[in-house]
Chains A and B, each alone.
Chain A
Amino acid sequence: MTPKDLEQLWQQINAELDQDEDIELDAYLRNKGCSRVELNALSDHTPNLINHTFLDADLHDQQLHNKYKIIQQIDSGGQSDIYLAARSDGVYQQTVVIKFISGQFDHPSLKQQFLQEMQLLADLRHPGVVTIIDGNITAQGKPWLVLDHIDGLHIDQHVKRHGLNTEGVVKLMMDLCETLQFVHNRQVFHKDLKPGNVLVNNINDVPYPVLIDFGIAMQQGDQVAMNFGTRGYSAPEQIKGQTVDQRTDLYALGVLFGHLLLTRQGQATALTHADDLRQAMVAADVPKDLRRVISKLTAVDPAKRYPSADALRSDLSLWQQGFPLSFDNHKLTAVVAKSVKRHPWVTLGLVMALVSAVFFTIKYTRDTHHLQQLTIAEKNATDELMNFMLDDLYENLERIGRIDVLQSVVNQSVDHLGKQDPLTLDQAGHLQAAKAYANTGRVFDYLEQSEQAQSMFRKAEKHLQQALEAGADPLDHLPLLANLKVYESQVLVSAGQEQATERVLNESILAMQQLLLLDPSSSQLPLWEASMELGYHYMEYARDESAAQVANTVAITQRQLANNPEDANWLYASSQSLQMKAWYELDYGELSQGITDLLLAIEHAQASMALDPEDLKKQHNQRILYNQLGFFYLEDQQLEPAQQAVLQAIELGDALKLKAPFNQEYEREHAYSYGTAGEISQQLGDLDAALRYYQFTLATTQELYAADPLNYSAANDLAVDLLLVADLQQQLGQTAEAQAQFAAVDALLQPVHEAEPNNKYYAHTLLVTKLQLQRWAEAKALYELAKSNDMVDGTVKALLAKHQLDWP
């Protein structure tokens, strides 16, 4: 039933019940073809929801007491109270540790943060990290955690009890490195490594160290409650309250390592400084290489420490096998000495010594070579995984509108890509790397981080070039290149974009043409995408090539649709081609043809949605089209249909917002809907409603601009919205506020226009601003520009009329 039909039906019911108010409702409704039980009382319809709302919502607090029985208090300190408890809900037997963290978390944002941190730890599933079983915040605002209970000794007690030798300690340290690397890869830092926070879990006589008590970085209000760690173990930067990273943990690990080596020899004392440690180790005859490892770990300058736990682990592994460590790579003497030591029989003969030294040096080099090979294989595997995540996941997440969750994958990917040595890559490796960079850039672009995106695309291009030089197959190379160029064109939003965009899009089209010559069966979607981008680009700069390019793009989709009329993706593409055609027609004054094309575009979009109902991207497309239809009708002064189209867009937008609440792009489009709705209300004379709509839009565009201030089109969007609000304020008599807003828009947009003088939209926005500010000279020049671009629209004309300016 359409809203109109319903309204009619309601009118009818209204009249009929006015006439005969004693009518029997059930029978009456049956006559209306309504079989549903009538609405009597809330509790008949939603008994479960009511129970859920009033009872279950608080179950979380009681959960704790229902589920666990406290056995004893283990510890009570400034930071937290810790209890040993048993699970008591009869599900299964398990002892756990319950930790109440001191401090109140009443404020929603603090709660949110605590829960986020908890989630972070919950995601760290590793045998070397204590498992979080449960946790929440009680009604009184007290956060609690339930952790796995590790029935083991503190690491130093373990070393003492079992009388571990140096090798045994090194083995434990290597296990710890593995855990730390795992944790650090996820950007989590422990911040309080010390013997008391490492328990050794002895399962089936295999000892494995487990990290407990992550220093959850509690923020109280805006003030960061610093976690200063433990005296003697904290790195200098942590004590000073500066930024900490994985190297801060490595410092503490170094102190811990030294402490364990001394413990082993019964010499552990309370150490308060890394220097004391060094001296004690000399006295205790700790092997020199390990002393150097510890010195490196406890260097004051983080840059002089090991860069990662993996690097330390690799050195410890070399030490175990008697190979030279990372820092004496280049010293032949050290290499020789170690080779000799590793193979004591060499020392039997002086002459043999030299021969062997040479022999083992060569062997060492070969060993390294072998290691390198392994590394490359591993690296390629990692690249593929990253690409899988960025490629397939991108498509799938786009369908549900949640590209934003790829942020952390992207960060790791960048980290990983940055570490690889280009000299070790073969052509397949280069192609993988190029793809990874391209995908990474695409995510950055989506997250409105254009600068990072551009840098990623540059790197991708370099790898593509290198792949070609290494003999890559054009069938692999060309589609990547075509896609890359399209992505690249989409981030060129700042200075110099006009020529650059045209260049990259032509490169993309050229690559696709070459590809289609080699393999006519390749997918033409990238060709269509590049062609459409180029069409829009020509239109934006009012270039003569526009018409041909638009026709060309529409032709591509028409050809494809003729062959596959039921293809959801080509229907989707077709709706976008038609949409572009409509814009072109709007630009050149064929408004009614534009509306016809938009309606056809909506039909195609609807069909593509019906074929692929899960894809939010397609629903988003549909909403955009309704938005534009509203705008077109508005331009055509058909206010009623315009309002209907926009309300349709808002409804679709509300639905999308429920399904993907954090999607910036959707948010922006939603804001456009409100913007148009505001304009319509304004024209209908309802200024208050208009102001309400505009303010919704303004809030969103302000947010988007703040997130990406280098993005000119975001600046322009913001300017347009500010102008609308200011104009309305002026009409409502708030002149001072309005003038201040106009001045702000001027300051925002003047530099954008100067950087991109040929962009007709930026110029138009600035023209309106200057007219509002009554700066006639500047306005005149912009007016000439607008006239040559055919951009003198109703807004401009109305302003000219208002100030009685008779410009030709």
Chain B
Amino acid sequence: MARSKETLMLLLDVGPSMHPYLADVSKCMTTLIHRKLMLSKNDEVGVVYFGTTETDNELNKEMEGYHNIVVVEPIAVVSQDLAHRLENIPCGFGSSDFLDVIVVGCDMLMKKLGENKKGNKRLCLVTDAASPVREPSEGTVEDQVRNIAERMGEQGIKLDVVVVRVGQNFLINSTGQHQNDVLLDLFKLHTQAEIGIARTATSMLGIIRPRAVSPTTLYRGDFELTPDLRIKVWVYKKTSQEKLPTLKKYSNEAPASDSHATREVKIDTEYKSSDNPDVSVPPEQRTKAYKYGKNFIPISSSMEDSLKFKPEKGVKLKGFVKRSDIPRHYFLKESSIFLPEPGHQKSIVAVSALARAMKEHDYAAVVRCVWRQGQTNVVMGILLPFVSAQENVADGFYFNVIPFLDDMREFRFTSFSSMPESLQPSCEQQEAAYNLVRMLDLSPSEDEELLQPEQTINPVLQRFYYFLHLRSLNPEAKVPPLDESLRCIVEPDLLRLDENQYAINQFSQQLTLTPNIQENGKKSFWKGERRDGNVLQIKDEPAFMDVDMKNPGSVSFNSLASRKVEEIGSANPVADFEALMARRDSPEWVGKAIQGMKKMIYDLLDSAYNGNTYEKALACLISLRLGCVIQEEPLEFNFFLRDLKTKGSTIRLQDFWQQVMGKKITLISKDEAPDSNVGAAEAASFLTSEKLIAKKEEPADEIDEMEALLGGAMS
């Protein structure tokens, strides 16, 4: 993708009031340069400090004035050295006049690129805008700003301003700051200017746009309201997810000493005939085939092409709807924006009229879009009004894709109001929730919003580019920790004061949340299994699978209690056992269930042939252990497991015991059930000690036999 080259001037305030933030500024600047080095390495950057003690710039030499401004880096192609030099920004003790430095910046851009030349020119000003600007010899400061801004507009110089107000809120702005803010806002009226107020170090990183994406339209053409009423629009992307760059595959085939090696890997994809795997089938002999049940239906590309849905390019209005007709969560993809064709006055007014009417009466427009000729699908979307607050920016519409019937899966979930009383929050609990929502407020006023998406940089990308830089200097470099200024994205307590802690504590106390040990234990159990790549294969045992594994939570003890199971049958022992354990009509059932299950496990093992019942027995054992934990019968289980271990040391049952160890089914410790006579350490060592002994005692040929058996059972 060709991107137009950008020339950027960094204008950095180093005056006394900025000293506390210079470290953050320097981090922002290096982040910016690192990213440019990777994504747009031909961009040019110049750096000017202002608020310095000294003065060193051409305008000063040419025509006096412009004091306390030092050009430290003339405009040059970005380099790692530049990033390095920006790591330490020196403090200055002069006064900071941001207007003067803007003029110096513009002057440098124009001298470098020539006047009236096209090109991507941008100033990036970082200041706290605390010191007053110099009064001009004639006219007002406002006039001066307007003049400069108009000149910038004519020359196409964009301006990004980061106003550093870390730890300050709107109310305590001094009048001097306020005046300066007004002056900066004036720039917006005449050139493309973006002014961001950084109240946290996080937002400072976010406000500085690391790279300028050259705008490309998704669509240019008519927006057809009726066949007779067409408005000329251009459509741009408004959001587009910036991803990690696709890394190249690395080959270490060439010797390390070969500095000219490209290290690249080619991927060769071949389509091989199923009759003869040595024959590669050329493209013209390949036909697409769609799966249709057990058959594949070949459809030639020419046929497919002739039958394909081919709508005409264009954007048509389907109709207007009330905004609430399209819920927010229907928005399907990244957003775009519809703008009237630049310079087409009539379309600008038409879009403006519609957007304002839609905003006033809360309407949205449903549109049918075919962006390009030859596109083989249509996109349905919704337009919401964008009414510009600036008089030099045209009104438009935000566009979001909405789903088709085919994309929706409608399900009903139990209504909260019909939930049983026991699950409803009490008055106190509800009050705690209200307090939490009120206190953890990230948007306390109109002008203040913390962690605003527009000002929050992607921490993964930030870390990636920083790491790339580190590793380019040192191939052994480790991944750095998350940048300090981005930690508040992960740890909310860093964001706000102690008052929140009270609300959180109150919420935690009022709403008791108890993790279900049964569920959690099981979950981590299975998870652990999967990581080991040692998944228990369950065959011909749907009951076990459905009850125990597929949906661990779906069968509650309560539901099972309603069925009157009397004993444990061989068809479905786990479910029977759980049902028995859940019976409340007599205390006998628990004992019966445990005894029954033990017998079942022994029976299964006794009847085993080539380990064919082991999976079932194992499932029973797991279930038995769980039941004993819940019913606080650890001794029953521990006794049984010890017995099993003795039996497991016989050759016949050795392979089964191996599986028990593989599943880490150990004694129930005191931690799990207080009645247990076994400590956690003993429980843990119960299996390992056995393992060592087993290894010692097992003759080699028996291991082979065991593997053969296991192989048979597991395949």
| A pairs with B | no
Residues of A near any B CB (own CB < 8 A): none
Chain B interfacial positions (CB closer than 8 Å to A)? none
